[in-house]
Structure 1
Amino acid sequence: MEAPRSAFVTKRPSIRILACVKCGVKITVENIGRISDVDGLTVNGAHCKPCAREVVQELKEGRFYENYRGKVIYCKDDKFFPEWFCLFYFRTVEHCRAFIDAKLKELEGLQETLEYWEEKK
């Protein structure tokens, strides 16, 4: 019968050095870049900060659908997002446009209220 292993007996973990998948630079805590897709999911692969900015820009260009009333609509897997790193989506671009219209109308109302209270002062 074999003796039970102690919880304190550990083997030294193998040390892995991360390198940027795009440029090959060694990745440290200070220069690691986190890349999130339009829906907030993390993109696989380790990137340094300069390369991460480039990859995010490439993702934004690839997910771009249209510019509507000054707001960018992104599309991924036939899902329409009113902004980058958005936790909700719309199934049609018409619903996404209606959401943007409603938000802009809400902001206009807030601006009018702010102007009203500024005049009262």
Structure 2
Amino acid sequence: MKKIEAFIRPEKLEEIKDVLKALNLNGMSIVQVMGCGNQSGWKEIVRGSEVDINFLPKIKIELVVQDNQLEDVIKNICEKAKTGDVGDGKIFISDISDAIRIRTGERGIDAIK
């Protein structure tokens, strides 16, 4: 199993949710976050002083998928999230050694289906 953490532009969330639903993925977490990277923010004047606003709003999507689903999920997220501009986001992938569905005690792949 693999855990996917995708940081995307907020306006791309609905498109990505739709494509993940079409792939029959039934579990994900979505969190509003603030972050910085190559996409520098902007400058504002606050109380007469210029202030750099470096942290920009992003959406973090977390989901766990079967190994054989990984490349398809990544490809679809990239296609929907890409604008070609700096700030499109990043995807991080981690190995998951086990998962447990608390209600039933199911483990592994059965717990994420």
Q: Which has more radius of gyration?
A: 1
More strand by share: 2
**Bigger RCO of structures 1 and 2 (CA < 8 A, at least 6 apart):** 2
Q: Greater share of helix residues, 1 or 2?
A: 1
Q: TM-score of the superposition, structure 1-length normalised? A: 0.27
